[in-house]
Structure formats: structure tokens, C-alpha cells
Amino acid sequence: SNTLNWFSYSDLQSFRRLEDLRAGQNKLICSCDFVPFLQSQLRGEAGIQLSDREDSYVCDSPLYLQGAVVSGVRLSVVECHQVVFVSVSCGLALFVGMLGSALLWRLHAFWYLKMIWTWLKAKRSSQKRRRQKDTEDTEALLCFD
């Protein structure tokens, strides 16, 4: 164990004669770049042999991956490509909003909403006038006594 937190293919290439690496038992930072790289190293897809057991490569950060064996870690597209995910989500939401607005416009929904609002205001106004008239009638009866 040492203070090796992560390493990349270019780091390993700088050691031309390196054939065997023991990097287990370190507090590894499991980033979107590091996890696939180390998983390919553990499968033996590169020229450098990792001689430690797979379960000795354990994530220390991020917190939700702490204690997870690197060979079993699966990072989602949302985690690794946040900017792309947010951009696509916002674009999709904008498209759906524009499509919905066009559909409402085509079906004259805005006119119907305006008419409903006018009807509700008129109904409220008539109820208010009726209540005011009832109050005046009640006051007139009280004054008459």
C-alpha cells in the first residue's frame, strides 16, 4: 500500500520496462476515466500485468462507491457524461414544450382558456353582486324594524 490514488495508460507507458504492477490496497479514486481503464487492465487487455487479486483494488471515493471492488463498479452515463445528459434533457424539454404549445395553439386552447377565465370572472362578479344585494336587503330589513 502506498499513496497511489489513480493512474492512467499514459502513466504506465512512461515506464517502458514495467511488466508487473502491484497497486492493490490503495485508496483509489474511481472516476469515469479510471474505472474502465483499470477494469481492462484487470482483464489483461493491456501489456502490463497487475499481479494483485481483483478484490484488492477497492474504491475509496466518491463516497457512494467507497468499499466497492473496482472490477464490479458500473458507472452510469448520467454520472460520466453529465454535461451531455443535461444538454440533451434541456433540449428535449424545450422541444416537448414547443410541441405542446404548437398543439395548444392549433387547437385554439389559449382562446378557450381566455374564455374560461372571462366566464369565471363574470360568475364571480355576479355572485359578488348577489351577496352585496343580499347584504343591502338584510340591512334594509334591520333598519325597517
Chain Cα centroid distance, residue 103: 28
pLDDT(1) > 60:
no
Give the separation between CA 21 and CA 13, rounded to whole angstroms. 12
pLDDT(141) > 60:
no
Per-residue pLDDT, averaged over 63-74, amounts to 89
The letter for the amino acid at 135 is: T
**According to the model, what pLDDT value does residue 23 have?**
77
Give the separation between CA 124 and CA 66, rounded to whole angstroms. 61
Which residues does 128 contact at the CB level (< 8 Å), separation at least 6?
A: none
C-alpha cell at 22: 502491484
CB 43 within 8 A of CB 71: no
Per-residue pLDDT, averaged over 118-136, amounts to 83
Q: What is the pTM of this model?
A: 0.56
Supply the mean pLDDT for the chain: 83
pLDDT(145) > 70:
no
Per-residue pLDDT band for 116 (boundaries 50, 70, 90) equals very high
Highest mean pLDDT: which of 31-35, 46-50, 134-138? 31-35
